[in-house]
Amino acid sequence: TDSAAPGGDSDAGPKALDELVVGFAQVGAESGWRTANTKDIQSAFADAGIELKFSDAQQKQENQIKAIRSYIQQGVDYIAFSPVVETGWDAVLNEAKAAGIPVVLTDRAVDSQDESLYVSFLGSDFILEGEKAGQWLLDEYADTSEPVNIVQLEGTTGAAPAIDRAEGFAEKIAENDNFQVIASQTGDFTRAGGKQVMEAFLKSNPDIDVVYAHNDDMGLGAIEAIEAAGLTPGEDIKIITVDAVKDGMQALADGKINFIVECSPLLGDQLVDIIKTLNDGGTVEKRIVTEETTFTQEQAIEALPDRQY
Ligand code: AHR
């Protein structure tokens, strides 16, 4: 695309890598996925010898906006961030644009209509992830003529992965009239949130067949609630999650989770490549989609020994 502006003083050509400064505004530390993502980004920049200023917004948009404004004030060369929610970014992105600082979105999208506000969006196709979860369920219950009662543990309200994973899943399961989402509530992508919401679901719904959790952590919280209620996760209630972090994969290997859709947190090297390309005056793709797979129990057992995060 033509929207990629080179960093620094364009007359002076590319900056040396050890002169570049990148500001990264992270969502928080809500999940195992997020911790792995932070670690991967920090080590990729350290390996590349590029200075990274890092901030943790504790899942609050106002904190992220503050961090971005402070990066603008400090005159960093590039800003990258993973937006907590989709809406409400135009003002601060316009400020970055006015300051001539290119912005890269990682992991999550914004809903801005003006695509000139960011150079590139690097991350997963969350709708596809939801579809993969739904497809597994369609296959798993292909021979059932009984109703299948599903409860959904949603991610952070307004976040791209929560919106898109719900949408992709709903579209898929609509292909079979037996499927019904009987309850759906946010667990904010945390283990504690997943546990608490699942406890409430179990109290008000005696007949839950399936949990669809928007991430592993909420699924792991749900497992605790299901076991505390005297039921067997993976058998009495089937569980599908998204991410495939180590703890999730272990639960899948143990038969407590039944299927995981992968969402890769390893975005660091690709983000560094984008920054280097822009610094060299090159252009980058507007949308870079992360490659991902899915895991059954057997596949989790096989993959676990080499799992990095
Ligand atoms: O945006 C990616 C999502 O955010 C991950 O699936 C979830 O675990 C994290 O908190």
pLDDT at 12: 65
Express each pLDDT in 162-221 by its tens digit: 999 999 999 999 999 999 999 999 999 999 999 999 999 999 999 999 999 999 999 999
Task: Indicate whether 131 pLDDT > 80.
Answer: yes
For ligand 1, which residues put their CB under 6 angstroms from it?
30-31, 33-34, 107-108, 161, 189, 215, 242-243, 263
Q: Read off the pLDDT of each residue in 130-151 and give the average, rounded to a whole number.
A: 96
Task: Indicate whether 2 pLDDT > 50.
Answer: no
Contacts of 206 (CB under 8 A, 6+ apart): none
Q: Identify the three-state secondary structure at position 58.
A: coil
**Alpha-carbon span 218 to 169, nearest angstrom:** 17
Residue 6 pLDDT class (50, 70, 90 cuts): very low
Which amino acid, 148? Answer: V
**Alpha-carbon span 272 to 270, nearest angstrom:** 5
Q: What is the DSSP letter of 142?
A: T
pTM of the model: 0.95
Closest CA to 55 of 91, 89, 79: 79
What is the average pLDDT score of the chain? 95
Q: Which ligand 1 atom is the nearest neighbour of the CA of 30?
A: 10
Cβ pair 118, 94 in contact under 8 A: no
Give the helix, strand, coil percentages of the chain, each rounded to 5. 45, 20, 35
**Alpha-carbon span 239 to 219, nearest angstrom:** 7
Please tell me the distance between residue 10's alpha carbon and the centre of ligand 1 in angstroms: 36
Residue 11 pLDDT class (50, 70, 90 cuts): low
Task: Indicate whether 5 pLDDT > 90.
Answer: no
Containing H/E element for 24?
A: strand 21-26
243, 264, 266: residue to mutate for ligand 1 pocket, most atoms within 8 A of CB: 243
Residue identified by tokens 């505004």 is 25
Q: Which ligand 1 atom is the nearest neighbour of the CA of 242?
A: 6
Q: Read off the pLDDT of each residue in 259-280 and give the average, rounded to a whole number.
A: 98
Q: Read off the pLDDT of each residue in 120-142 and give the average, rounded to a whole number.
A: 98
Please tell me the distance between residue 161's alpha carbon and the centre of ligand 1 in angstroms: 7
Task: Indicate whether 129 pLDDT > 50.
Answer: yes
Q: What is the DSSP letter of 167?
A: H
Question: What's the CA angle centered on 182, arms 181 and 184, to 5 degrees?
Answer: 75
Q: Which ligand 1 atom is the nearest neighbour of the CA of 189?
A: 10
Express each pLDDT in 61-96 by its tens digit: 999 999 999 999 999 999 999 999 999 999 999 999
Give per-residue burial for 260-279: e unless 16+ CB within 10 Å, then b: bbbbbbebbebbbebbbbbb
